């Protein structure tokens, strides 16, 4: 996208590039990200959790460190932990870098990660600029909550988009649902829009016109888009898939259950068979214990009642 003449085609047609200056041009990164489509990505903080996610059928893992002390800055995970997890599993490994911190991204690329997540969950390093992702060989993941922001991140080189909701680990999926429905609604409006109206629509959502036009032509984003935030049950995961997402990100709180393998496996099955209620019912059985600690906080409940 940053290279002149780059065209990324999401369908089964060939993905082509007019220029091949980058050893891994954007279209190749888009293809690599599409390999995760239809899967569940699990956030892990230990080697043991990474092994459970792989055994359960996760398509990839996101390496994170334990939440920092309240008030402390959240940064990228320790490279030694990332390397240890890389050696322990064979599925793709994603590592988080702070927004705008291209040096952290350089370090993560050197460790051999398969994807870099420019994560809004970490403390931002640059409040005004995101990383120029075209300068890196590995594909980037970015979180967004609206169509205009999503296409801006794609312009910067993001090959996979997370439609974000509440990432606090509360188990509240309402914000994720709201953002997913908003994005899907905007894409439906765009698809049925007259070509002459696309210019004003692109201006309205502050997105590059060429990417807006491409989204209209494809009837979907030119890159894969997952849902993230509040997804803690098989039903949650299937919900996101039926709303039109390509996959889900699941937080590390999923491993706090009595049987983390059973819960991760159930979510993987729900993503793979999201339209089969019989499989979903089977996957949802005997998982109530894992809901402890994954509900809305008392403060939020009181606020809602008020």
Sequence-distant (6+) residues with CB within 8 A of 58 are: 39, 40, 41, 42, 91, 264, 268
Look at the block and give the residue holding tokens 């990324």: 8
CB 92 within 8 Å of CB 36: yes
Active-site position among 96, 203, 216, 262: 96
Q: How far apart are CA 42 and CA 232, in angstroms?
A: 11
Look at the block and give the residue holding tokens 């402890």: 292
Sequence-distant (6+) residues with CB within 8 A of 305 are: none
Pick from 151, 132, 177, 107: which is nearest to 22 by CA? Answer: 132
DSSP letter for 78, please: P
Look at the block and give the residue holding tokens 């690329």: 109
User: Is 96 annotated in the active site?
Assistant: yes
Pick from 252, 259, 240: which is nearest to 294 by CA? Answer: 252
Q: How far apart are CA 262 and CA 170, in angstroms?
A: 20
Active centre residues (catalytic): 96
């Amino acid at each position: 996208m940053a290279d002149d003449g780059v065209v990324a085609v999401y369908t089964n047609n060939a993905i082509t590039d007019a220029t091949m200056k980058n050893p891994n041009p954007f279209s190749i990164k888009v293809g690599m990200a599409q390999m995760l489509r239809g899967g569940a990505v699990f956030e892990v903080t230990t080697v043991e959790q990474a092994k459970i996610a792989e055994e359960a059928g996760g398509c990839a893992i996101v390496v994170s460190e334990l939440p920092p002390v309240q008030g402390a800055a959240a940064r990228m995970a320790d490279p030694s932990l990332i390397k240890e997890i890389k050696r322990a599993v064979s599925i793709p490994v994603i590592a988080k870098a702070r927004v705008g911190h291209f040096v952290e991204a350089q370090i993560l690329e050197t460790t051999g990660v398969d994807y870099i997540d420019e994560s809004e969950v970490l403390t931002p390093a640059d409040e005004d600029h995101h990383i120029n992702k075209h300068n890196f060989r590995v594909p980037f993941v970015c979180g967004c909550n609206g169509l205009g922001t999503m296409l801006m991140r794609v312009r910067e080189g993001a090959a996979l988009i997370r439609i974000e909701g509440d990432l606090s680990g509360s188990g509240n999926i309402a914000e994720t649902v709201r953002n997913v429905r908003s994005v899907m609604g905007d894409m439906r409006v765009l698809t049925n829009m007259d070509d002459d109206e696309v210019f004003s629509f692109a201006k309205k959502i502050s997105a590059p016109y060429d990417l807006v036009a491409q989204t209209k032509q494809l009837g979907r984003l030119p890159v894969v888009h997952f849902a993230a935030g509040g997804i803690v049950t098989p039903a949650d995961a299937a919900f996101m898939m039926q709303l039109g997402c390509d996959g889900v990100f699941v937080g590390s709180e999923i491993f706090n259950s009595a049987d983390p393998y059973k819960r991760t496996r159930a979510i993987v099955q729900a993503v793979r068979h999201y339209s089969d209620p019989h499989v979903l019912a089977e996957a949802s059985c005997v998982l109530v214990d894992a809901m402890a600690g994954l509900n809305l906080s008392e403060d939020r409940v009181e606020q809602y009642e008020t």
